[in-house]
Amino acid sequence: MFAYPFTEKFEHMMEQTGDFLEQKIGDHIRQSDMEAPVLSGMPEKKVWYKVPLEKGICGDGSPYHIYLKKGTRKRLCIFFSGGGVAWDDYSAARPVTGGKVAAGQPNFYWNNLRPFTQVMNINVGITQTGHSWNPFDSWCFIVVTYATGDFHVGNRDYEFDTGEGTRDVVHFKGHENFLEAMKVAKEHFPDPGRILIAGDSAGAFAVPALTEEILEDFYPDCRDVTLLSDSALLLFDHWQETARDIWGAGERFWKPISSDNIILDWYSSLVDRCGDRLRYLYASSVHDYLLSTFYNAVTNKDYSTNKELQELYRDQLAQLTVQLKKIMPGFGFFFNDWKHPVPGISAGGSVHTAVRKPYFHIKNDNQATMARWLFDAVNGRVYDVGMSYLRNQ
């Protein structure tokens, strides 16, 4: 009979600790030279800049910005950041905070950009600068940050019930933010010879959704294009209604959705129109603790994960791999089973995303790094790594 009060007290303590640590990290970034300078004039090479967008907006209505880095070669990576998703009033009312993450409480999407979020966006993994082991250090980058909960395709101010007797609004304006970001990309990097369109988590879903628009409206002359979705699998029966009726996404986004697998539907639609003009890549850990948690939340309204759910995720991932290979036999895959370093949060599951984490440069059990696999792919050598992780061990 004492278990519940103890658990409640512990969760409260963890929430306070998480909020405190996030604030401290944010203060350190703000007060040191770690914070990216605001771009004024022409960028210097190999320096990350913050670029405020006047017409951009975060989910909570606060100002929006992206990040830009000028490289030394005419190679451009357009990177879509991740950060969760909102699909109904309950999830819209529960944005991410450091405290909720630490306490294991439901937290579904980032709804603003603050100093702490810079840590997730730049100078890590593929975006790391000044290191010879990063084969993309010489590339130009536009990082389309994410704080709208709509897979970067929304176009609606959505009023929702907070569950506490009040109503609030979330600005699902991911598509408008994307368009403004692409104007900056075109201004500073007008004619790249090679393009990588990549994203992790929620941003990984955006890759097939927005690629055709990027190529048609901004870079129609580029014929050397590679795509990478890192960790994008979340089965849900109501994706079409969510995209159309909650996010207010345009018809080009919601109409191709015909199943519970939005990433498969969006890639199928893209392949139908672009075929083998593009190189297609997909990566994931096979027991993703966070995507299995989200699957449990959308399916069972339970924000938690366990070994059974993580095995189910691996089964779903194996099926997705077969389906993607069927629509495009040249699809390349990179799988890993790196365990999350905090078992209390992950319930023993594997990491969520790797391309913008130190894991990008770490060898998996096949003695391969994601960095080398991706670099080979953008140079025309597409292959699979880690397929054995999908088989029963």
Transcribe 36-84 into DSSP letters: PPBP-SSPPBT-EEEEEETT---TTS--EEEEEEB-SSSEEEEEE---B
Listed ranges 48-62, 335-349, 356-370; the one with the highest mean pLDDT: 48-62
Per the prediction, the chain carries an average pLDDT of 91
Q: Band of the pLDDT at 5, cuts 50, 70, 90? A: very low
State how far the Cα of 336 lies from the Cα of 387, in Å rounded to an integer. 9
Global pTM reads: 0.92
Fold observed for domain 44-390: Rossmann fold (3.40.50)
Least confident of 102-106, 152-156, 265-269: 102-106
Give the 3-state secondary structure of residue 222. coil
Q: What is the largest CA-CA distance in the chain?
A: 68
Place of tokens 């580029």: 222
Place of tokens 């998480």: 18
- pLDDT (average), residues 127-150: 96
Least confident of 22-31, 115-124, 188-197, 246-255: 22-31
- Each residue's pLDDT tens digit, 170-229: 999 999 999 999 999 999 999 999 999 999 999 999 999 999 999 999 999 999 999 999
Q: Band of the pLDDT at 104, cuts 50, 70, 90? A: low
**Domain spans of the chain, in order of start:** 44-390
> Residue 263: CB partners within 8 Å, gap ≥ 6?
204, 205, 208, 229, 232, 233, 234, 320
Confidence at residue 100, expressed as pLDDT on a 0 to 100 scale: 53
Radius of gyration of the chain (CA): 20
Evaluate whether 128 touches 51 at the Cβ level (below 8 Å): no
- pLDDT (average), residues 235-247: 98
Q: Which two tokens stand for residue 227?
A: 């795509």
> Residue 56: CB partners within 8 Å, gap ≥ 6?
63, 64, 65, 66, 173, 176, 177, 180, 181
Evaluate whether 361 touches 369 at the Cβ level (below 8 Å): yes
Q: Decide the pairing of beta strands 156-161 and 167-172.
A: antiparallel
Q: How far is CA 104 from CA 18, 101, 108, 343, 349, in A?
A: 10, 5, 11, 12, 14
State percent of the chain over pLDDT 90. 82
**Roughly how many angstroms between the first and final C-alpha of the chain, as a whole number?**
41
366 has a pLDDT exceeding 90: no
Confidence at residue 11, expressed as pLDDT on a 0 to 100 scale: 45
Q: How far is CA 343 from CA 144, 289, 306, 323, 351, in A?
A: 31, 10, 11, 31, 11
State how far the Cα of 217 lies from the Cα of 272, in Å rounded to an integer. 19
- Each residue's pLDDT tens digit, 288-318: 999 999 999 999 999 999 999 999 999 999 9
> Where is pLDDT greater, at 393 or 286?
286
State how far the Cα of 236 lies from the Cα of 392, in Å rounded to an integer. 25
Q: Band of the pLDDT at 27, cuts 50, 70, 90? A: low
Half-sphere exposure in the Cβ direction for 208 (13 Å, CA): 29
Confidence at residue 48, expressed as pLDDT on a 0 to 100 scale: 97
Confidence at residue 28, expressed as pLDDT on a 0 to 100 scale: 57
Confidence at residue 98, expressed as pLDDT on a 0 to 100 scale: 57
- Strand segments, DSSP code E, in the chain are 48-53, 64-69, 75-80, 140-144, 156-161, 167-172, 194-200, 225-230, 278-285, 332-336
Q: Band of the pLDDT at 106, cuts 50, 70, 90? A: confident
Confidence at residue 296, expressed as pLDDT on a 0 to 100 scale: 97
Q: Band of the pLDDT at 25, cuts 50, 70, 90? A: low
Burial class (CB in 10 A: 0-12, 13-18, 19+), 115: middle
Least confident of 18-22, 44-48, 331-335, 351-355: 18-22
